Structure 1
Amino acid sequence: MTSDRITSVRISSVTLPLHTPISDAKVLTGRQKPMTEVALLFAEIGTESGHEGFGFGYSKRAGGPGQYAHAREIAPELIGEDPSDIDRLWTKLVWAGASVGRSGLSTQAIAAIDVALWDLKAKRAGLPLAKLIGAHRDSVRCYNTSGGFLHIPIEEVLDNTTASRERGIGGVKLKVGHPDWRVDLERVTKVREHLGDDVPLMVDANQQWDRPAAQRMCRRLDPLDLVWIEEPLDAYDHEGHAALARTFDTSIATGEMLTSVAEHAELIRAGGADIIQPDAPRIGGITQFLKLAALAEHHRLQLAPHYAMEIHLHLAATYPQEPWVEHFEWLEPLFNERMEIKDGRMLVPDRPGLGLTVSDQARAWTVDSVTVTA
Structure 2
Amino acid sequence: MSTPETTAHAAQQAGEATLDRISWIKLSSVTLPLATPISDAKVFTGRQKPMTEVAFLFVELATEGGHQGIGFSYSKRAGGPGQFAHAKEIAPTLLGEDPSDIAKLWTKLVWAGASVGRSGLSTQAVAAFDIALWDLKAKRAGLPLAKLLGAHRDSVRCYNTSGGFLHTPTEQLLENASRSVAEGIGGIKLKVGHPDGKVDLSRVTAVREHLGDEVPLMVDANQQWDRPTAQRMGRALEEFGLVWIEEPLDAYDARGHAALAASLDTPVATGEMLASVAEHWELIRNDAADIIQPDAPRIGGITQFLKLATLAEHHHLQLAPHFAMEIHLHLAAAYPYEPWVEHFDWLEPLFNERLQISGGRMHVSSRPGLGITLSEQARAWTQADYELGTRP
TM class, shorter-chain normalised?
A: over 0.9
From 188, 206, 220, give the equivalent of 2:204.
188
Which residue in the other structure is 1:318 paired with? 334
Specify the code of the residue in structure 2 equivalent to 1:109: A
Aligned mates of 1:136, 1:339 — CA distance in 2: 18
Q: What letter corresponds to residue 251 of structure 1 in structure 2? A: P
Q: Paired residue for 1:307?
A: 323
1:154 maps to which residue?
A: 170
Query: Take 2:224 and 2:109, find their aligned partners in 1: how far apart are those partners?
Result: 35
**Equivalent of 1:210 in 226, 231, 241:** 226
In 1, the alpha carbon distance for the partners of 2:254 and 2:211 equals 32
For 2:26 and 2:68, how far apart are their aligned partners in 1?
11
In structure 2, distance between residues paired with 1:132 and 1:362? 27
Letter in 2 for 1:7: S
> 1-side partners of 2:303 and 2:88: how far apart?
20
Counterparts of 1:78-227 in structure 2 under 5 Å?
78-227=94-243
Instruction: Give the match's secondary structure for 1:46.
Output: strand
The sequence identity of aligned pairs, in percent, is 77
Q: What's 1:256 paired with?
A: 272
Q: How far apart are 1:373 and its partner, in Å?
A: 1.1
Q: CA deviation at 1:352?
A: 0.3
> Within 5 A, what are the aligned runs for 1:285-296?
285-296=301-312
Segments ≥4 residues shifted beyond 3 Å: none
TM-score normalized by the length of structure 2: 0.95
What secondary structure does 1:263 align onto? helix
CA distance in 1, matches of 2:183, 2:132: 30
Query: What is the aligned partner in structure 2 of residue 77 from structure 1?
Result: 93
> Counterpart of 2:356?
340
Deviation digits for residues 54-97 of structure 1 (CA, Å, limit 9, x no counterpart)? 00010000000000000111000000000000000000000110
Unaligned runs of 5+ in 1: none
Separation in structure 1 between the aligned mates of residue 363 and residue 71 of structure 2, nearest angstrom = 20
Aligned to 2:381: 365
What is the identity, as a one-letter code, of the residue corresponding to 2:285?
Answer: R
| CA offsets 1:203-223 (integer angstroms, 9 cap, x no match) | 000000000000100000011
Separation (CA, whole Å) in 2 of partners of 1:237 and 1:189: 28
SS of 2:255's equivalent in the other structure is: helix
Q: CA deviation at 1:23?
A: 0.1
Map Cα deviations across residues 277-334 of structure 1 (whole Å, 9 max, x no partner): 0000000000000000000000000000000000000000000000000000000000
Q: Tell me, in whole angstroms, the C-alpha distance in 2 between the residues paired with 1:129 and 1:85.
A: 16
Paired residue for 2:366? 350
Q: Which runs of 5+ in 2 are unaligned?
A: 1-15
Which amino acid letter does the alignment assign opposite residue 301 of structure 1?
L
Give the partner amino acid of 1:18.
L
| Offset at residue 234 of structure 1 (A) | 0.2
Out of 274, 279, 294, the residue aligned to residue 295 of structure 2 is 279
Query: What's the counterpart of residue 238 of structure 1?
Result: 254
Q: Measure how far apart 1:241 and its partner are.
A: 0.5
Residue 266 of structure 1 corresponds to: 282
Q: Name the TM-score, length of structure 1 as normaliser.
A: 1.00
Deviation, 1:45, is 0.3
Aligned residues: 374
CA offsets per residue over residues 34-56 of structure 1, 9 Å max, x none?
00000000000010011110000
Letter in structure 2 aligned against 1:316 = A
- The residue identity in structure 2 corresponding to 1:308 is A
Match of 1:63 among 57, 60, 79: 79
Cα-Cα RMSD? 0.5
| 1:349 shift after superposition | 1.2
